[in-house]
Structure 1
Amino acid sequence: MWQPDGWDVRVRLGVLTPHADVGPESELRAMAPAGVGLHYARVPFGGMGRGGVMEATIPLAPVRAFAEPPQVDDAAALLAAAPVAAIAYAFTSSSYVIGARGEAYMLARLRERAGGLPVVATCAAAVEALRALGAGRIALVDPPWFDETLNELGRGYYEEAGFEVPYAAPCGLPGGQAQVSPQGLHDWVAGRVGDAAEAVVIGGNGFRAVGAIEALEATLGRPVLTANQVLLWSALRAAGAGTDGVEGYGRLFTEAV
């Protein structure tokens, strides 16, 4: 008689996302197992216009500004007023720009504004995931709208964290978010990352990627990590919820210790 209404969940996660980006919501919803509620706060991002329109490459100034107070801090405080157990910061590129130390300061600031709730970020989650999988050498693939400068900042982020990065490049697929497909991403990555890396990291929370994880792992024979995948993994752990029930989205959910 009674239909599911979304209220009966075991844990609720909050997500901070750029105001015009539907990527994090789409992918996190696809991966989240039953019993996980997802609740989003939209944060203004100067690099996106109405309808999610972006320039061919995103400029660094609005990327940096996204991580600065007061807007993201205010959004975290409002989100923390809801009954969420952890908050996830769904924006890769600002961590590249401010670096691991700046990211750590930002997370501490957001935790304070969130009243002590755990706050996790994409790049820090990727580092945690790589270490859990025992991978020390990575291939880094970023969205087409990340230029070489931003991609090199990403390489520097992971090198600073102690990883070797024998391959790093923006993806050469057409640049619009809606133009990316899982098959296209699979074919591009599989043909370029080579054998030197122990894992592949695909950056960009707005980059359509989680649908290609399982196929890429089968083709490449190594773990594949994507922005929203590692963010969900880290947020569930931070909330004390465990990662059981996530199926079809990579070795991370079955092999990470």
Structure 2
Amino acid sequence: MWQADGFSTTRIGVLTPHADVVPESEFNAMRPEGISIHAARVPLGVYKPGGVMDTEIADDPVRAFAEPPLVDDAAEMLASAPLHAIVYAFTSSSYVRGRPDDARLKQRLEARTRGIPVVISSAAAVAALENLNVTRLALISPPWFSAEMDRQGARYFQTCGFDVVSNGPAGLPSDQHAIQPGELFEWVRTHTAKSAQAVFIGGNGFRAVGVVKALEEALGIPVLTANQVSFWQALIQSGSQASITNYGHIFGLRPPAH
């Protein structure tokens, strides 16, 4: 009798740069029935009106995105809703600020979310790689990451104990809206080191979850993306038992929430 109204039993929040639509889009693509996505937007000083982003983002605005008070206030406001987990969807600040800052950021935000767990995207990638027993990693960065920011990403994973066997920004148009799945698939397929045990495609604004299944079939190794691992970790933290298919091997692994 009644039509679906979108009401959900598991609600996941997302803290995202103010003009970035990719995290919400990809979370919504992956989510099964019964899960809903709710975003709060945080200013990031690399956008022009209409969502046009700098072709190469600088460290300073990336670093500032993770500093109080704006993201803290957004987390508190988002946590006013009856959510089960909140994702901080911004990999690059972890690269620039370093791994130790992830724990501090999580603690700081959770002080404002009244008990709702916060998932940090880069830390979720580390958890996924550890659960996959990966030691050798191929890292792919968005084309709008500078070579130095990509190197910072490699150092981030190296400090976590991984051997980064290849890394670099993808040679695609430096425009979020110009990324096409077929082009990303070919780039990753042809630029992943044969010694890699997994691929991580960083950048929550990098449209990538649509190629995960095809890449895993082509490469024969797990393929992770920033939004995919964040959603995986958020489901764990929320206590959801939802089954996710076609978005990567990682969804078959469900370690206890912590």
TM-score category of the 2 structures, normalised to the smaller one: over 0.9
Equivalent residue, structure 2, for 1:47:
46
Equivalent residue, structure 2, for 1:254:
252
Q: Which amino acid aligns with 2:3?
A: Q
Quote the Cα distance in structure 2 between the aligned partners of 1:197 and 1:19: 34
CA RMSD of aligned residues (A): 1.0
SS at match of 1:196: coil
- Residue 133 of structure 1 contacts residue 256 of structure 1 at CA under 8 Å; is this kept in 2? no
Determine if the alignment matches structure 1 residue 144 to structure 2 residue 126.
no
**1:116 Cα offset (Å):** 2.3
SS at match of 1:178: helix
Q: 1:38-77 maps to which residues of 2 (within 5 A)?
A: 38-77=37-76
Q: 1:7-156 maps to which residues of 2 (within 5 A)?
A: 7=7, 9-156=8-155
TM-score computed with the length of structure 1 as normaliser: 0.97
Quote the Cα distance in structure 1 between the aligned partners of 2:2 and 2:102: 45
Quote the Cα distance in structure 2 between the aligned partners of 1:75 and 1:178: 25
**1:256 Cα offset (Å):** 5.8
Higher mean displacement: 244-253 or 148-157? 244-253
Q: Which amino acid aligns with 1:22?
A: V
Which of structure 1's runs of 4+ aligned residues deviate more than 6 A?
Answer: none
- Residue 138 of structure 2 contacts residue 200 of structure 2 at CA under 8 Å; is this kept in 1? yes
**1:63 Cα offset (Å):** 0.3
Going from structure 1 to structure 2, the CA distance change for 1:255 and 1:76 (only over 3 Å counts) comes to: closer
Q: Which amino acid aligns with 1:252?
A: I
Q: Which amino acid aligns with 2:246?
A: G
**1:49 Cα offset (Å):** 1.9
**1:239 Cα offset (Å):** 1.0
**1:115 Cα offset (Å):** 1.3
Tell me how many residue pairs correspond in the alignment.
255
**1:194 Cα offset (Å):** 2.0
SS at match of 1:51: coil
Q: Which amino acid aligns with 1:81?
A: S
SS at match of 2:164: strand
Quote the Cα distance in structure 1 between the aligned partners of 2:161 and 2:50: 38
SS at match of 1:16: strand
Quote the Cα distance in structure 1 between the aligned partners of 2:35 and 2:71: 23
Quote the Cα distance in structure 1 between the aligned partners of 2:58 and 2:253: 37
Percent sequence identity over matched residues?
52
TM-score computed with the length of structure 2 as normaliser: 0.97
**1:248 Cα offset (Å):** 0.5
Quote the Cα distance in structure 2 between the aligned partners of 1:189 and 1:231: 20
**1:255 Cα offset (Å):** 4.4
Quote the Cα distance in structure 2 between the aligned partners of 1:87 and 1:235: 7
- Residue 88 of structure 2 contacts residue 120 of structure 2 at CA under 8 Å; is this kept in 1? yes
Structure 2 residues without counterparts, runs of 5 or longer: none
